[in-house]
Structure 1
Amino acid sequence: MPAGSLVIVGSGIQLGRHISQRCISEIERADKVFCLTDAFTYRWIEGIRPDLEPLHIYYGENKDRRQTYREMEAAIVATVQEGHKVCAVFYGHPGVFADVPHGAIRKLRHAGYAARMEPGISAEDCLIADLGMDPGKHGCTSMEATQFLVYQRQIDPTAMLILWQVGLTGDLSCTRFNTTANKLQVLVDKLCRWYAPEHEVIIYEAPVLAIHQPRMDRLPLKQLPQASLGQASTLVIPCAGMLTADIQVLQALGYTLSDLN
């Protein structure tokens, strides 16, 4: 096996409180450390590793984020191939809505290098805790907002729906970091195939600092185009309607409707 190696770790969402001791140990022991987190977390990790190498420098105004991600991945992979033990730190869970970690690990494993990922606390973990909504109760569908919008995706309204990056809805250029009321209206129009315009939805944002509170704004679906949204905004749509039992399956299992209560 080649000399270099890679471990991708997650810093979690909340500064200093969500990162695991295992991830801190990987940061301390690595030859080289790359970092892509929020500014507060970056400075905190810089206190552990003053030689920290930033990945946000690859972003550029009106630059396609897909090109940015390719450059980040190339920087990480090249450093491993130079024979270094590399640790790359990413915000939240490093495997959730993060192309670079998965891409770097795939490429290095294919070339015979040791490469792995350590999990972190994600925005979804915070959402479940803050909103008190158990995805195991009625089920949960989770997808990126623009992907839901532009593809023929089917929704089960009896399960909770989570649409990530709703603040970027409708952007296929990968150059913008916001959306418009018109694009949000297109999203609302599509969601109204399954939900009433008055159905209550939640705009959620996890707190980055312990002194902050989560954003949990409740509003009718029809008012979403007028809402203030950011890059961290997530749209949560609670269940609409009741679950309907499959009588034939119940009978095949030897149960009746009364057994569901």
Structure 2
Amino acid sequence: MTLHADRREPDIYIVGLGIKGIEHVTRETESVCRRSQEILAVPTLPAGMTHLRDLCHRVTDLHPVSYREDENRLNAYDTMSAMVLAAALDHPPVTFATYGHPLVYVYPTRQILDAAPYLGLDVKVLPAVSALDTMTIDLDFDPAIDGLQMYEATDLLVRQRPLQADVPCLLWQVGAVESVLYSSALNSPERFFRIKDYLLRFYPPEHEVAAVYSSPHPLFDASVVRFTLADMERHHDQLHQGLTLYIPPLSRRPVADADLIAKVESVEHLRSITHDTAAPGPRSEK
């Protein structure tokens, strides 16, 4: 991605529409949408498209022209990124607007960023509210306490990634586990047999987990379904493709460095690892 020292308009803006409808759309995003010749969007609600049409005279909904039942989702992402790049070559600047954050589980963004330099196109990505941001609220969870590990559910299985049972875990796209094909069909219990067995390598059957779906509508609360790992497949009808699985830690990891924990509140130790900002810095070598 090109860094812009000047104020020249990039050819492509990549923005996120947040999770909870137009309430999460930032003023910065609205500003670049107004300056765009076209917005190519993947919204979650019709109200999102309506809002975008208030900002730009030309808005294209990418969802119906990209996704096909039982086809690889990568085909949909290829279509999206190709349409954005073609529009930018023809009538820049354009905006690619997706729900959530544009760099959190949005593969077309990566495709656009990788291809743009070869086409002589400049791209600027703007921050937005992601599902990770909303899930910390939905779960009353602060990752600063015990850290956080998170993986895409199918990637966890195919790479056999090890899990730390004392660190909170998020498994994204658990409702779409074991397939890269787009489908509107409901999940069956069998979809969750393999991932349940894998999780039981690290957690006991009675460990309670939560499947969370942050509401995209301002009038509705988030959906949080709690169950034990032993009962995971019994909730197959509730585990749709938008859910993320939260696995709380089994226990707190004990302190291993007693010497350091004794020093973290010590003024003397603080002074030993800092220096007076007024003091001269080290001489540069010639």
TM-score, normalised on structure 1?
0.90
Q: Specify the structure having the higher radius of gyration (Cα).
A: 2
User: Contact 1:35–1:90 at 8 Å: present in 2 too?
Assistant: yes
| Equivalent position to 2:256, from 246, 250, 255 | 246
Give the conservation status (yes or no) of the 8 Å contact 1:202–1:236: yes
Cα distance 1:245–1:256, how it changes in 2: closer, same or farther (>3 A)? farther
- Of 213, 235, 241 in structure 2, the residue corresponding to residue 231 of structure 1 is 241
Question: What is the rounded CA distance, in whole Å, between the counterparts of 2:57 and 2:89 in structure 1?
Answer: 23
In the TM superposition, what are the counterparts of 1:172-183 in structure 2 within 5 Å? Answer: 172=180, 174-177=181-184, 179-183=187-191
**Which residue of 185, 208, 214 maps to 1:206?**
214
Residue in 2 that maps onto 1:39 = 45
- Match of 1:92, SS state, is coil
Task: Please tell me the residue identity of whatever aligns with 1:95.
Answer: L
What pairs with 1:95-244 in structure 2 (closer than 5 Å)?
Answer: 95-172=103-180, 174-177=181-184, 179-227=187-235, 228-244=238-254
Aligned to 1:29: 35
* Structure 1 residue 109, shift from structure 2 partner: 2.9
Q: Which residue of 2 aligns with 1:53?
A: 60
Gaps of 5+ in 1: none
SS of residue matched to 1:66: helix
Distance change >3 Å, CA 48–CA 138, structure 1 → 2: same
Q: Distance in 1 between matches of 2:108 and 2:221?
A: 30
**Within 2, Cα distance between the matches of 1:3 and 1:202?**
44
Deviations 1:207-240 (A, max 9, x none): 1111101112221111111111112111101111
RMSD (CA atoms): 2.4
Structure 2: distance between partners of 1:207 and 1:32: 28
Structure 2 letter corresponding to 1:75: M
User: Which residue of structure 1 lines up, in the alignment, with residue 284 of structure 2?
Assistant: none
Quote the sequence identity (%).
25
Distance 1:109 1:200, change over 3 A: same
Aligned residues: 255
Q: What residue identity is the alignment partner of 2:24? A: H
Distance change >3 Å, CA 186–CA 133, structure 1 → 2: same
Shift, 1:110, TM fit: 4.1
Contact preservation (8 Å) 1:3, 1:83 = no
Q: TM-score, normalising length from structure 2?
A: 0.82
Return the letter of the residue paired with 1:245. Answer: V
Query: What secondary structure sits across from 2:24 in the alignment?
Result: coil
Q: Distance in 2 between matches of 1:66 and 1:159?
A: 31
Q: Does structure 1 retain, via aligned residues, the 8 Å contact 2:37–2:56?
A: no
Deviates more, 1:55-64 or 1:106-115: 106-115
Q: How far apart are residue 50 of structure 1 and its match?
A: 4.5
Q: Partners of 1:72 and 1:162 in 2: how far apart?
A: 27
Tell me if 1:9 matches 2:19. Answer: no
Change (3 A) 1:58 1:243: same
